[in-house]
């Protein structure tokens, strides 16, 4: 399990990124905060450290796994209670 904690991101403009890339990259590494890159006040890109990206991907995987296990539990419960119904056509899914 990761010790990923969300940090408030830093905002930079595209032109700042172009002019000060090395300094912004050093700041990214030292602060561990994501950089949100704005172009005309619209979000253009997000820059994360690889470990931050990997931690986010791991959180997504864990969430998807929990959701899948919850769906299996619901299926098993409905199977035991006899609520499952065998369908012959896909259209039966949409019948009330």
pLDDT digits (tens, 9 = 90+) for 65-80: 999 999 999 999 998 9
Residues 64 and 77 in one domain: yes
Q: Is residue 15 part of a domain?
A: yes
Residues 11 and 43 in one domain: yes
Tokens representing residue 58 in the block: 């791991």
Residues 13 and 23 in one domain: yes
Contact 7, 34 (CB under 8 A): yes
Name the domain count of the chain: 2
Q: Please give the Cα distance from 4 to 11 (Å, whole number).
A: 20
Q: Is residue 61 part of a domain?
A: yes
What pTM does this model have? 0.64
Q: Please give the Cα distance from 19 to 24 (Å, whole number).
A: 10
Tokens representing residue 52 in the block: 């931050």
Mean pLDDT of the chain: 89
The CATH number given to whatever domain includes residue 38 is 3.40.1620.10
Q: pLDDT (tens digit, 9 = 90+) per residue, 4-44?
A: 565 677 899 999 999 999 999 999 999 888 999 999 999 99
Domain range holding 54?
50-84
The helix or strand, by DSSP H or E, that contains position 14, with its residue range, turns out to be helix 14-19
Q: What is the pLDDT of residue 85?
A: 79
């Amino acid at each position: 399990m990761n010790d990923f904690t969300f940090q408030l991101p830093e905002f930079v403009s595209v032109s700042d990124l172009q002019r000060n890339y090395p300094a912004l990259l050093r700041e990214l590494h030292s602060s561990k905060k994501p950089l949100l890159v704005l172009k005309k006040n619209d979000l253009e890109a997000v820059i994360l450290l690889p470990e931050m990206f990997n931690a986010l991907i791991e959180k997504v995987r864990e969430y998807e796994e929990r959701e899948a296990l919850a769906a299996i539990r619901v299926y098993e419960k409905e199977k035991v209670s006899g609520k499952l119904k065998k369908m012959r056509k896909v259209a039966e899914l949409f019948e009330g």
